[in-house]
Amino acid sequence: MALVPELGSIAGSGWAAGLNLWAVGLVIGIAGRLDMYDAPAVLERTEVLAVLAVLYVVEFVVDKVPLLDSAWDTISTIIRPVGAALLGIAIAGESDVSSITGGLTAGGLALSSHAAKATTRAAINMSPEPLSNIVASVLEDVGAIGFVAFALAYPRVALGIAIILGLLAATLAFILWRFVRRVRAKLRERKERRAQPAV
């Protein structure tokens, strides 16, 4: 099947972009500059790589601060999937995959991994200690960089893995969102009970 390798790169990049869009763009651009991957020309430009590097550093710092990371994730709910969709369209433009397929595949998988990341962080932020947040952030960065590199090298395998990860991420996001809502509701009830004057 001729489309599988390109679709695998798109799917893997899309899923990883839901964790860290800027890191994924950097990896693809650098791989293109080193002639290790037929990257979209725009990602190989020096000024684009510089902007991606700056945005990666900003996210690297912000993502490790409890509560600030959740605010960043809220903003990124639009940025990551849309950025991943544009990335999928750009990669598709270099292959036989249609732009619509590339955009929807990358954007959809990015949305699922982003949702899992954001809800996991919301659950972690209920704990007062900051270490778990930092560990989670580092693991997400390593996962994003590692998986996009894997997807560029082994796109056929990455396609299957990305589909499975997308389904698992969507399921995890749903479970964690319900958990976070339940805990927040209980905390609100407790606060209201304390605020009521003793009779």
Enumerate the domain spans of the chain.
4-173
Q: Which of 163, 9, 20 is nearest to 93 (CA)?
A: 9
pLDDT band at 93 (very low <50, low <70, confident <90, very high): confident
Distance CA 59, CA 61 (A): 5
Residues 6 or more apart from 173 whose CB is under 8 A from it? 112, 115, 116, 118, 119
- Residue 3 confidence (pLDDT): 56
Q: Looking at the predicted structure, is the pLDDT value of residue 162 above 70?
A: yes
Residue 4 pLDDT level (bands cut at 50, 70, 90): low
Residue spans of alpha helices (H) in the chain:
4-33, 41-44, 46-62, 68-93, 99-124, 131-153, 155-195
Give the pLDDT band (50/70/90) at residue 1. Answer: very low
Task: Tell me the residue type at 152.
Answer: L
Instruction: Check if the beta carbon of residue 136 is closer than 8 Å to that of residue 18.
Output: no
Read off the tokens for 75. 């903003």
